[in-house]
Amino acid sequence: MQLVFTGIPGDRIRDIYYGSSLLFFPSFFSLLFPLYSMLSARRVLAKINNRGLATVSGLTKDSLVEMNLLEKGNYINYKQQLDNVNIVKERLGRPLTYAEKLLYGHLDKPHEQDIERGVSYLKLRPDRIACQDATAQMAILQFMSAGMPSVATPTTVHCDHLIQAQKGGAADLERAIRLNKEVYDFLATACAKYNIGFWKPGSGIIHQIVLENYAFPGELLIGTDSHTPNAGGLGQLAIGVGGADAVDVMAGLPWELKAPKIIGVKLTGRMNGWTSPKDIILKLAGITTVKGGTGAIVEYFGDGVDTFSCTGMATICNMGAEIGATTSVFPFNNSMVDFLDATGRSEIGQFAKVFQKEYLSADPGCEYDQVIEIDLNTLEPHINGPFTPDLATPVSKMKEVAVANDWPLEVKVGLIGSCTNSSYEDMTRAASIIEDAASHGVKAKSLYTVTPGSEQIRATIARDGQLKTFTDFGGSVLANACGPCIGQWDRQDIKKGDKNTIVSSFNRNFTSRNDGNPATHAFVASPEMVTAYAIAGDLRFNPLTDKLKDKDGNEFLLKDPVGVGLPVRGYDPGENTYQAPPEDRASVEVVISPSSDRLQKLTPFQPWDGKDAERLPILIKSVGKTTTDHISMAGPWLKYRGHLQNISNNYMIGAINAENGEANNVKNHYTGVYSGVPDTAAAYRDSGVKWVVIGGENFGEGSSREHAALEPRYLGGFAIITKSFARIHETNLKKQGLLPLNFTDLAAYDRIQPDDEVDILGLTELAPGKNVTLRVHPADGSPAWDTPLSHTYNSEQIEWFKYGSALNNMAAVKASK
């Protein structure tokens, strides 16, 4: 069966992906028709089940309850998970936190697994995998090399990252479908072939779709995106991983995770006025910094946890990625039951209640590794930034801080939406502020954009009038996608290099992230605060205390925002944007053109030569923040996410070279000629020279993109030596056969010079917990010096290094069977 369509007139393309699925895959009619009815059934259910909890009687621990409305035969496994938890509890002899229960409930071998928080590696069996289009391409290309007929774990792919915001919703979607046709075709056909659910462009942002359709309390989900933890708002353990980790689970292998520590965040009291869930995570980021959550799960508890909507909790968990946390989670509660009701999944909510006491709650007396307390009664709205999400300023201090730091005071653009903040509640609260301003004849001073998180949110706010409120206000409603959050923004209001301020309700604000302009000062705040800034047009504005002038020059104070957690009339599911895998999958062809510049089949990397590495040049010693955006930029480069050779041309182009303070300008160690980082790396590789990178703290923080690890491997890199790594990036490097190593003596980072050469010694005895040695040969001819380097390899991971990659290792194990 050939699923790639050709010869369809351009004006029907939108229908193909966005509107009528029947045109796309005529043979799916029978599959899609029930789906349509299911979606409308969902609407009806949502209407019936408002806040009151109608009990679905008759559910027992042995009941068979489907995990979602879209797949058949995937049942919730609470009973097994509870058995596992009981085994572990008996072994450890102590009460468990909520997150621990979910984690240990998914152990592959609960009887024999070593469990020490922060020390042992856990082997887990996730229930589900979610991939977004920008990371799915590489994941699927790797899965294809495993030669399996279908995925072993339920998986979905979501088209959200590749849609550029230019003119607004429908036009941008149409353009994206045209420009990315080849990639969407590849993903659609590969999904059909390997039994993966495919969410077409226009469906919405991965995390929102997961929350609305797949997430439920107690589930363990891995997702190839760092904001996967969003679903923690629905009591699920949802963890961001690199593509290669997802491939293991797709291939039926257990997934490995270093047993996380548990940080308890105790919430007391209740938010009021302008404060919203986003402010909790903005405040927390200020306390912990971007690396405070590394190696830990953040578990919320205290009487404050029952005061939010489910989507509010999802906002908090989503942005937990910005503090480096493995994931964040709220314990199962009534708001989750309400959300499950509203999304047509009442039975799941009721089933969860059956297990609430024993499985879906923290044990009394459980202990956290660290406890942080936040008092919601006194929590102020916060504005974090610029350039980093942990620079937190309460609104009452913003005027002073902004002036003192010489931040541009005029707010050029306010952007609401993204996976973090695009719920119905967010939209209704933002709209309430605009309506208040409009009643005084006031419109936006700044440009204002809205990205609905999903087609369901878009359709619901279109039906309920908030969308009109936004457009009447002068706002533009963008496609249901990541858009400006990931740099997919054709920004026209300023020139590159112009110093300016934007405020968004997104979660990331690294340099150049949104518009590619390093002079843009990007701040993150709640949608309510973003809207207030867009109205006032000034970063010094504090809506709690500062008055605005109405159309007649009279002063007024904006009213406190008001919103609704769940739509009173139920959600409107909007267009059907889902493609279920067909029954007959064997004959589906997955097409990759050999001449494509977007997609390229992967060639296995060479195994390690079995020797220590000697006299390696330093490609770059980077200073300051080196996020995955510095290592493998997004924005215009997103189009090469399926083509390793092409995307490698962005390797480290955003990182700052310690030698000259410049980006993308490094000296070739042998010729002395300065050039771009990727060119220099390729020149070394082509002359058979391996190289290393030297980096600072929390290297690779930010996203899950494994391109940041595949690229250096493809360009001939050997080791990445840093003060510390962000979790996902470190695993990604190991998976691709590169050596992630850490200075044990941090002063060695300062001592080593970009022109020095290095040996890495002790590799033949590489073993868990055993340091290797870095021998530095200074360029000035002074005597060589040694410094120890630590690593976090366990014995299985060492095999990945030896084989050249985890995938090579997997192939070798398969061949030996």
CB nearer to ligand SF4: give 81 or 384: 384
Q: Which of 183, 267, 486, 532 binds ligand MIC (CB under 6 A)?
A: 486
CB nearer to ligand MIC: give 195 or 646: 646
CA distance 46 to 769: 53
Part in contact with ligand MIC (CB under 6 A); list of ranges 99-107, 257-265, 553-561, 701-709? 701-709
Helix (H) or strand (E) holding 353: helix 346-355
Cβ–Cβ < 8 Å for 100, 373: no
Q: Which of 14, 128, 705, 727 is catalytic?
A: 705
Q: Is 225 one of the binding residues for ligand SF4 (CB under 6 A)?
A: yes
What is the token pair recorded at 746? 């941090």
Q: Which of 183, 310, 391, 482 binds ligand SF4 (CB under 6 A)?
A: 482
Q: Which of 125, 508, 639, 667 binds ligand MIC (CB under 6 A)?
A: 508
Task: List the x/- string, 490-529, binding to ligand SF4 by CB under 6 A.
Answer: ----------------xxx---------------------
Task: List the x/- string, 618-657, binding to ligand MIC by CB under 6 A.
Answer: ----------------x-----------------------
With vertex at residue 208, the alpha carbon angle to CA 427 and CA 429, rounded to the nearest 5 degrees, is: 15
Cβ–Cβ < 8 Å for 802, 607: yes
CB nearer to ligand MIC: give 42 or 705: 705
Q: Considering only CA atoms, which of 320, 286, 566, 556 is closest in space to residue 428?
A: 566
Examine the residue annotation and report whether 185 is marked as an active-site residue of this protein. Answer: no
How many CB atoms neighbour CB 696 within 10 A?
18
What is the token pair recorded at 425? 């509640």
Examine the residue annotation and report whether 429 is marked as an active-site residue of this protein. Answer: no
Q: Is 227 one of the binding residues for ligand SF4 (CB under 6 A)?
A: yes
Part in contact with ligand MIC (CB under 6 A); list of ranges 221-229, 442-450, 457-465, 606-614? 221-229
Of ligand SF4, ligand MIC, none, which one sits near residue 286, judging by CB under 5 to 8 A according to partner kind? none
Part in contact with ligand MIC (CB under 6 A); list of ranges 18-26, 81-89, 614-622, 696-704? 696-704
CA distance 376 to 639: 42
Residues 435-474 that bind ligand MIC (CB under 6 A): none
Part in contact with ligand MIC (CB under 6 A); list of ranges 104-112, 220-228, 667-675, 801-809? 220-228
Q: Which of 42, 106, 158, 160 is catalytic?
A: 160
Examine the residue annotation and report whether 161 is marked as an active-site residue of this protein. Answer: yes
Cβ–Cβ < 8 Å for 121, 259: yes
Examine the residue annotation and report whether 363 is marked as an active-site residue of this protein. Answer: no
CB nearer to ligand SF4: give 210 or 709: 210
Closest residue to ligand MIC, Cβ-based?
Answer: 703
CB nearer to ligand SF4: give 77 or 156: 156
Measured CA distances, 439 to 162, 433, 469, 473, 551 (Å):
38, 10, 12, 11, 10
Before 386, cis peptide (omega within 30)? yes
CB nearer to ligand SF4: give 68 or 135: 135
Cβ–Cβ < 8 Å for 482, 205: yes
Q: Which of 309, 432, 703, 724 is catalytic?
A: 703
Residues 154-183 that bind ligand MIC (CB under 6 A): 161
CA distance 465 to 70: 29
Q: Is 486 one of the binding residues for ligand SF4 (CB under 6 A)?
A: yes
CB nearer to ligand MIC: give 226 or 511: 226
Give just the sign of the alpha carbon dihedral 430, 433, 439, 440.
negative
Q: Considering only CA atoms, which of 458, 464, 410, 460 is closest in space to residue 435?
A: 464
Q: Is 701 one of the binding residues for ligand MIC (CB under 6 A)?
A: no
CB nearer to ligand MIC: give 160 or 182: 160
Of ligand MIC, ligand SF4, none, which one sits near residue 704, judging by CB under 5 to 8 A according to partner kind? ligand MIC
Largest pairwise CA distance in the chain: 81
CA distance 772 to 788: 6
Examine the residue annotation and report whether 703 is marked as an active-site residue of this protein. Answer: yes
Cβ–Cβ < 8 Å for 168, 476: yes
Q: Is 650 one of the binding residues for ligand SF4 (CB under 6 A)?
A: no
Q: Which of 491, 705, 713, 729 binds ligand MIC (CB under 6 A)?
A: 705
Q: Is 226 one of the binding residues for ligand MIC (CB under 6 A)?
A: yes
Strands (E), 64-160: 121-124, 128-132, 155-158
Full DSSP string of 545-598: T--EE-TTS-EEPPPPP---SS-TT-----S--EEPPPS--TTPPP---TT-SS
What is the token pair recorded at 636? 């215009």
Examine the residue annotation and report whether 390 is marked as an active-site residue of this protein. Answer: no
Q: Is 134 one of the binding residues for ligand MIC (CB under 6 A)?
A: yes
Q: Which of 192, 419, 450, 720 binds ligand SF4 (CB under 6 A)?
A: 419
Q: Is 485 one of the binding residues for ligand SF4 (CB under 6 A)?
A: yes
- The residue count for binding ligand MIC (CB under 6 A) is 14
With vertex at residue 278, the alpha carbon angle to CA 275 and CA 283, rounded to the nearest 5 degrees, is: 85
Residue 285 Rama label (left phi>0; alpha psi -120 to 50; beta): alpha
Q: Which of 127, 133, 185, 225 is catalytic?
A: 225
Strand partners, 489: 165
Residues that bind ligand MIC (CB under 6 A): 134-135, 161, 225-227, 240, 486, 508, 634, 702-705
Could you list the residues that contact ligand SF4 (CB under 6 A)?
Answer: 205, 225, 227, 418-419, 482, 485-486, 506-508
Residues annotated as catalytic (active site), given as ranges: 160-161, 225, 508, 703, 705
